Amino acid sequence: MDECNNLLEIQRFLNAMGSASSMQEKSTSKLDHIDSDESSCASEHVRPSKRKRSSRRRSSLLDEQYEMIKAQRIAFEEQAKMYRSMRSFIEESTRTVRDLSGRLRDTQRSTIDSSPSESNLEFGPSSQAL
């Protein structure tokens, strides 16, 4: 801010003198872009620090996003592991159910084959009377 005030004072001094020396014209032409308003000069000096802050802030936000993505990746990997174990359990359960249903069918077939059918039953005289 002191630099800004010094530049403004130099510019005012040169303008007040109104001298036509080439050195002063060069100095004045270099300072023409600076407004005589101190607030605009101050705002020019604040901008770089805001940029630094915003770049730090952006960097901080990017770091936070990176950490969130890493955490999500870990969570997804854990979910995938859980789903794989669930799938293995379901596949094993399906094999067990198929095996048991196959055994049950075999048992029922052997029971049906070994049991007498109605056509093989002998009917006695009392049965025929019905």
**pLDDT for the residue numbered 62:** 94
If pLDDT is split at 50, 70 and 90, which confidence band does 10 have?
confident
Task: Tell me the mean pLDDT in the region 28-53.
Answer: 53
In sequence order, the 6+-apart residues with CB closer than 8 A to the CB of 11 are: 28, 31, 34, 36
Which pair of structure tokens corresponds to residue 44? Answer: 């020019």
pLDDT, residue 57, reads 87
The Cα 63–Cα 66 span in angstroms is 5
Q: What are the residue ranges of helices labelled H in 1-130?
A: 2-17, 22-31, 38-114, 125-129
Per-residue pLDDT of 72-127, as tens digits, reads 999 999 999 999 999 999 999 999 999 999 999 998 888 877 766 555 555 555 55
CA distance 36 to 46: 17
